[in-house]
Amino acid sequence: MSKVVVIGAGIAGLATAVRLQAKGHKVTVIEQADGPGGKLREKNDGSFRFDLGPSLFTLPELVQEVLALGDLPATPFPFEKLDRSCHYFWEDGSTLVAFEDKKKLAKEVEEKLNGKGEEVLEHLMSSAFLYKHTAKLFMHRSLHKLSSYLSKTVLQALVRVHKFNLTTTLHEVNQKRFSNPKLVQLFDRYATYNGSDPYRAPGVLNIIPHLEHNIGTFFPAGGMFQISNSIYQRAKELGVTFQFNTRCEEIRIEKNRVQGVRTATEEIAADVVVSNADVHPTYRHLLPNIPAPEKTLQSERSSSAIIFYWGIKGSFDNLHLHNILFSEDYRGEFEQLFKGTALHPDPTVYINITSKCKADDAPAGQENWFVMINAPANKGQDWEAWIPQAKEFILNKIERTLKRSIRELIVVEDILDPRGIEKKTSSFMGALYGTSSNDRMAAFLRHPNFSQQLKGLYFCGGSVHPGGGIPLCLLSAKIVDELIPNA
């Protein structure tokens, strides 16, 4: 039985621990925080419950797959499929409900936006085509192993590579496909799902709407935290050892092979080490004497976020679980975002309200609002000045768009900014997704899931291949599992 240490109890680290323990390894997870989940944690003050991080749930089968591993009965994981993915709002009074039923969605587009429903249906067919022919290469396999390119399905995909819009930006593709600028903006926003700029990111990111519109969006019973908590419970059932409040100080190396890790209090021997930490601090702090992949580490970081957790004394019938209030200057918002020198005064505002699906997340007649705007990665900006500015921009945006003030309705408030994200999750510069995809080669520039220098060292999580977000983090764990032989 080989010994494995996983650094970090984010969702990818948890899933990796379950997978490796289930195939016979003895796994220990060390985590600097006081509990599991990484970005996928919760806060409960007794009146309002908030999921602190990721709020969109797609591809639930990836979670179920992890919860069925091992020789114990599968862990139950109840969830519901939603009849709509999002409510969209513009300042001119236009609204759109993105229904799960595509015929209803097309009709909604025609009636509410005076757009062409068939354009949306054709776009979603194109998104399905991208998913069918690129997912196995870009999401399910290591891009850094020759064997990944030798399977029949991948070779078939490579024959069609000219159709993947790798050299055309997402915005350019969408601008050609939609005659209505609001639909262009709506589908441009999918670049933000990995912290990127639609005016620079490649058109292949149009794969993302397939997950949301063709497969569907879901909500876990108990909230998003139950995703990470269920995997954590499964790991404990299978015998994984957890050490919380334990910071890794060094990955120990001898003769180009890992020997384990060193914490502040002990050395833990291991045959395999898997880092679920951001790849940047992994090299800079845990492997200071190993030549780092500088081109990868210096790649442009993804966007971060400023999040307000508000308990709202009141209810809004026009809002649902996921809501977007679009900026009137989308291009300007992204230009400002990646310059990183100021916040745009008219931000796109995302509002997540889990009490719409889980009533006890807020007192009766009240709502729990997770309110987020995209923010630059942390470069030492004056966040103390920026936070109240961001709050004012958001409140003004809500008032202009929803025609209703919420200032006097806020009874609970907590705030998370890029500094807090960096401190709490070790995400370099507070970037939510590691590096951005603002480069047509971004997928290939992400760090591989294994070390090309050190035997026994592997990587999972949002800063490495295949990227950030719950589904990709779970797939990174699966790739690592396939790279590491049975015990």
177 pLDDT higher than 90: yes
The 10s digit of each residue's pLDDT in 187-234 is 999 999 999 999 999 998 999 999 999 999 999 999 999 999 999 999
Average pLDDT, the chain: 93
Q: How many CA atoms lie within 13 Å of 484's alpha carbon, on the beta-carbon side? A: 34
Amino acid, res. 49: R
3-state helix, strand and coil shares in percent for the chain, rounded to the nearest 5 = 40, 20, 40
Q: Where are the alpha helices (DSSP H) in 2-116?
A: 11-22, 61-67, 102-112
- Cβ-Cβ contacts under 8 Å for 104 (sequence gap 6 or more): none
Can you tell me the distance from the alpha carbon of 80 to that of 356, in angstroms, rounded to the nearest whole number?
13
**CA geometry: angle at 121 spanning 115 and 127, to 5°?**
120
pLDDT at position 162 is 47
- Put residue 377 in one of left, alpha, beta given phi > 0 → left and psi -120 to 50 → alpha: beta
Q: Which of 116, 118, 236, 270 is nearest to 182 (CA)?
A: 116
Tell me the three state secondary structure of residue 258.
strand
Reported as type and span, the H/E element at residue 346 is: none
CATH class of the domain comprising 3-47+54-79+221-298+435-483: alpha beta
Residues linked to residue 253 through DSSP beta bridges, in sequence order: 258
Q: Which one-letter DSSP state was computed for residue 485?
A: P
pLDDT category at 305 given cuts 50, 70, 90 is very high
Instruction: Return the domain boundaries, the chain.
Output: 3-47+54-79+221-298+435-483
141 pLDDT higher than 90: no
User: How far does Cα 476 stand from its chain's mean position?
Assistant: 12
159 pLDDT higher than 50: no
Give the pTM.
0.94
The 10s digit of each residue's pLDDT in 394-432 is 999 999 999 999 999 999 999 999 999 999 999 999 999
Return the C-alpha torsion angle 149, 151, 156, 161, nearest 10. -20
CB atoms within 10 A of CB 62: 18
Dihedral sign of CA atoms 211, 217, 220, 226 in order? positive
pLDDT at position 204 is 86
- Cβ-Cβ contacts under 8 Å for 353 (sequence gap 6 or more): 316, 319, 320, 321, 323, 367, 368, 369, 370
pLDDT at position 142 is 60
96 pLDDT higher than 80: yes
151 pLDDT higher than 80: no
308 pLDDT higher than 70: yes
Reported as type and span, the H/E element at residue 83 is: none
The 10s digit of each residue's pLDDT in 417-427 is 999 999 999 99
pLDDT at position 154 is 56
Q: What are phi and psi of 474, to 5 degrees?
A: -65, -35
Sheet holding 457-459, edge to edge: 241-243, 26-30, 3-7, 272-275, 457-459
482 pLDDT higher than 90: yes
279 pLDDT higher than 60: yes
Which structure tokens are listed for 177?
Answer: 């496909």
